[in-house]
Amino acid sequence: MTNAPIVIKDVVIAGVSGGEFGVRGYVTAFDVNTGRQLWRAYSTGSDTDVMITAPANRWYPSMQGKDLGNTTWSGDQWQHGGGPTWGWYSYDPQLNLFYYSTGNPGTWNPDQRPGDNKWAMTIFARNPETGEAKWAYQMTPHDEWDYDGVNENVLADLTIGGKAVKALVHFDRNGFGYALDRTSGKVLLAEPYAQNAPNWASKIDLTTGVPVRNPEYGTTSKQNTTGICPASIGFKDQQPSAYSPLTRWFYVPTNNICMDYEGVDVKYSAGQPYVGAIVRMYPGPGGNRGAFVAWDPVAGKKKWEIKENLAAYGGALTTAGGIVFYGTMEGWLKAVDQRTGRELWRFKCPSGIIGDPMTYSGPDGKQYVAVLSGIGGWAGIGVALGMGAEDPTAGLGAIGAFGDYLNMSNPGGTLLVFSLP
């Protein structure tokens, strides 16, 4: 379990990891006082198991139908179909709905699981007390690239198309930034958000809600597909974005990594890796491996970007003073102007940063900013596990993209706290 649980009233909700081990993902609610299980909603299986009691999404025909968590899989593949829930949870107290996303289907070899593979790669809205799904929206049906869909869902009230909207904004690994109506699951906007546009799909069709795929970049066990952008690590992975009410923009730490991908037949064995692909990752167009981006959710366009040599793999923090903080894999904690991206301050930490800066008021009345310096995660797996650079496919392809990083950082593990004037 790598997720942080969420407590809503007297309910605590948590998920599971294990998308590369053939798990069947779920979220579980417990009584916060006794630990008694209240309900469990699976990512795959029958409507009863997934806790869908009405059409999952009234806007899109491909997301309507009975027991799609079974019928969009081949045979009993849904039982090991992934859809882990290892990420983040958000809650709207006015709507009394909590939101989360599910991860990749298993295996990574798409040939072994024909169909849409619902409800992996899906944003869910649920009632926290009953678990009932209010709506579901699948971002990447029949995922062929490991575009794990668990990235955070940020709730913000926006004006889109001239109308006030209770929005949910999600920057997916697949390279598209989504703005949905969080009351109904309708996609209002879906546009590229990173330094480069994805090439596996030309767009998200707002009428059908599904991607318009480019067949050239589909994957299979029959050949090695090259030049896919983004790579499995996504144009954004686990590093959370941040919203600023001052600018009404989002600030997104991104990756600029592409890949070659070849599916491999694999058999399920409990407790053993269930991956089924050989992946080689490398820098995307431009050569830099990341960028820190300001993104307008109304226009669906970038406002500015700061290119980084390595992936911008630490989370973002906006403040009421008009500043946004973020960390880099080189170990720099940076403060930049929210409107212009102009760098205001930087500090070199003892290790790379993949953590999220935070701010608080101390008992002395001063404002503090803290960040954990220490490397890990997919981009930093080589350093964290002491790997060598010989095999570019090692670390599920990360060594190909970040092999030089093995000599640039130590694993670290230092909490740094700064006081603001």
Report, as residue numbers or ranges, the catalytic residues. Answer: 146
How far apart CA 280 and CA 76 sit, in angstroms, is: 30
Cα–Cα distance list, 238 to 36, 54, 98, 377 (Å): 30, 31, 19, 8
Dist CA 243 CA 416 (whole Å): 23
Per DSSP, 421 falls in state -
Look up residue 145 and give its amino acid: W
- Furthest-apart CA atoms within the chain: distance in Å: 64
The DSSP 8-state label assigned to residue 5 in this structure reads P
**Tokens representing 167?**
């929005």
Joined tokens for residue 366:
């001063």
State how far the Cα of 285 lies from the Cα of 281, in Å rounded to an integer: 13
Report phi then psi at 389, rounded to 5: -100, 10
Token look-up 């589909």 returns 218
Q: Which one-letter DSSP state was computed for residue 168?
A: E
C-beta contacts of 364-368 below 8 A and 24+ residues apart: 366/419, 366/420, 367/419, 367/420, 368/417, 368/418, 368/419, 368/420
Q: Give the closest residue to 243 by CA, choosing from 316, 342, 159, 298.
A: 316
Among 194, 87, 99, smallest CA distance to 151 is for 87
Dump the DSSP string for 349-377: -SS-B-S--EEEE-TTS-EEEEEEEE--T
Write out the two tokens for 387. 């790997």
Task: Give the up-direction half-sphere exposure of residue 124: CA atoms within 13 A in the CB hemisphere.
Answer: 33
